[in-house]
A and B are shown apart, each in its own frame.
Chain A
């Protein structure tokens, strides 16, 4: 059992507050991804769990035990670093066995464990090499192996894939996920890449400026973001945000956009009348509607990506993205009319950025 509980964590570097009142529970065997823009405090949080960064206020519990003052070596966790941090003077085998040696394992035990991990990761033929003689992907695997060999109860990953090329990154993503399913240790994974977060996580923790913006399973965050930040952070191309005001057209409430067009929103409630809002619509929820589409835009760029085609057009000085099937793709400078699907409309308060619908 190695659930992780973070309660009221604070951290500041000099006058800069990096983490402000962080509360988070990570369940045993969960794969939890911390994601956010650089400088949001996600790495600091991970390093605090690892014990590499001192806790200034609040508590960290691993497996029900407070570990605030425990040294990293006693926390039974392993970490995969961004730069892999392999020991350059040691062979792959020595790299893998170092932690076992330091924890005074018996020689034959070390041998079997290293062999097993090497087989799992396909490193058995590389055991005699040094990190300098390995490719990026192989080094990444050694770093993973070094973390696995001790059977830790918690795995920490600090942007482990950011040094790999795109193809390897996708491959390693699946591999890490697969390993997690086999090993089943609690994992905390830091990344700034929302695709990595979406594809790997059981639960995503979105952070910004030292606070947690929202926590939840990937698709739930994608469909029901709590605020503008979460909505824009997840999804590519990013969500369209159109300024407008909640008004009534006499019968029903809706949003009047800057160009005067009216879009009716079924779930809207009357207390919201007259509030300035941002209407969020994801590209796949904007459909081309040549007759009735309320949003009239001019096509700027058409991006075919194979399966889907993205159309970026201009609407009142703002870029607006939508997704179409490639047979129906318009041409550059075409005038198109777009209409949001009913279930695809999210409304955010313009000043606070909080979701209202």
Chain B
């Protein structure tokens, strides 16, 4: 060791300064400022200095019904979409890894195209899919006799939520697939062969060997994805504006509306802070109970 922190503290400080500045200004400052604003009456419509209002914003928030609806909707939509995305991404990865080996690279590239589709396109696409007059879903449902007439799915509370879930899931499958595929490829063929000789059939091999071995990878991917879903608001904003009757009002959209439609920065900051705590709790739960440390060397 040529340099030691104790001997040359300024040298080391200089080395981490650029990173510290970037993190400080772009991440830490906005977070702290947001938390600070949530205790004030900040609004661009108000003149004069900021007034400290204590927990007033929070009290208001916790008495607001739409807020509870949005917490519930967000949890439901995020949880179901993430779970579906993990399951389907894993299934496609299995198919690519053990099934259609020959076209795997091509197929993987094709599936991954979905990942680069902008959210606005996802919105338009799924909006049309579920459209009452011309939508494919309605066409299929009436053609197969599942329904008699076209349904306005987007104007149905449960229906609208499932449209969100469909869009979220669809957009995230490629990401989960790539992660799951990488996980599958990291399992040595010897282990798969050993399980074959041990007598495990395909399903028990997946259940006893493959899933436990890539479970941590999948859990981290699930977490990354849910955090992304928590933030995503293009779909509800453009497709349903949170409706019908707040069925698709999610935290991100709720906060956005508070800030840029009601111009109540302080209340929006309070919502954002609650939202931050919420994500931290979810992440902690996933990491604490989802990740197994025992076989990590």
Contacts and interface: CB of A to CB of B under 8 A. Distances in A.
Given A81-B190, A87-B209, A89-B212, A132 B297 contact: yes
Interface string A62-99: 00000000011100011101110111111000000011
Contacts of B296: 132
A88 B208 CA distance: 11
B175 to A, nearest CB: 24
B196 interface: yes
B87 interface: no
A146 B188 CA distance: 18
Nearest to A47: B193
Contact of B198 (A51, A52, A71, A146): A146
Contacts of B295: 88-89, 130-132
Contacts of A226: none
Contacts, number: 69
A98 B193 contact: no
B276 interface: no
Given A89-B213, A89-B292, A132-B297, A73 B188 contact: no
Contact of A50 (B195, B197, B201): B197
A85 B191 contact: yes
Given A85-B188, A89-B213, A89-B295, A73 B196 contact: yes
A83 B190 CA distance: 7
A94 to B, nearest CB: 9
A102 interface: yes
Contacts of B195: 87, 98
Interface string B195-224: 111111100100011001100000000000
Interface residues of B, number: 22
Contacts of A252: none
Contact of A77 (B197, B201, B213, B297): B197
Contact of B200 (A82, A85, A102): A102
A83 B192 CA distance: 12
Contacts of B208: 87, 98
Nearest to A78: B197
Nearest to A97: B198
Interface in A223-245: none
B194 interface: yes
A132 B296 CA distance: 8
A103 interface: yes
Could you say which interface size class chain A belongs to?
20 to 34
A29 B244 CA distance: 76
Nearest to B209: A87
B297 A98 contact: no
B294 interface: yes
Given A87-B209, A132-B295, A73 B194 contact: no
A98 B212 CA distance: 14
B124 to A, nearest CB: 44
Interface string B281-297: 00000000000101111
Nearest to A82: B190
A81 B294 contact: no
B165 to A, nearest CB: 31
B213 A88 contact: yes
B294 A130 contact: yes
Given A88-B295, A89-B294, A98 B196 contact: no
Given A82-B190, A85-B191, A89-B292, A102 B198 contact: yes
Given A89-B295, A130-B295, A83 B199 contact: no
A130 B297 CA distance: 10
Contacts of A51: 197
B74 to A, nearest CB: 33
Contacts of B213: 87-89
Contacts of A50: 193, 197
Nearest to A158: B190
B196 A72 contact: yes
Contacts of A73: 196-201
A304 B296 CA distance: 46
A283 B201 CA distance: 53
Contacts of A85: 188, 190-191, 193-194
26 contacts: A52-B196, A71-B196, A72-B193, A72-B196, A73-B198, A73-B200, A79-B194, A79-B197, A81-B193, A82-B190, A83-B188, A85-B188, A85-B190, A86-B191, A89-B213, A89-B292, A98-B195, A98-B198, A99-B197, A99-B199, A102-B198, A102-B199, A130-B295, A131-B295, A132-B295, A132-B296
Given A87-B191, A87-B208, A90-B212, 5 more contacts: A50-B193, A52-B193, A85-B191, A89-B213, A130-B295
Interface of A: 50-52, 71-73, 77-79, 81-83, 85-90, 98-99, 102-103, 130-132, 146
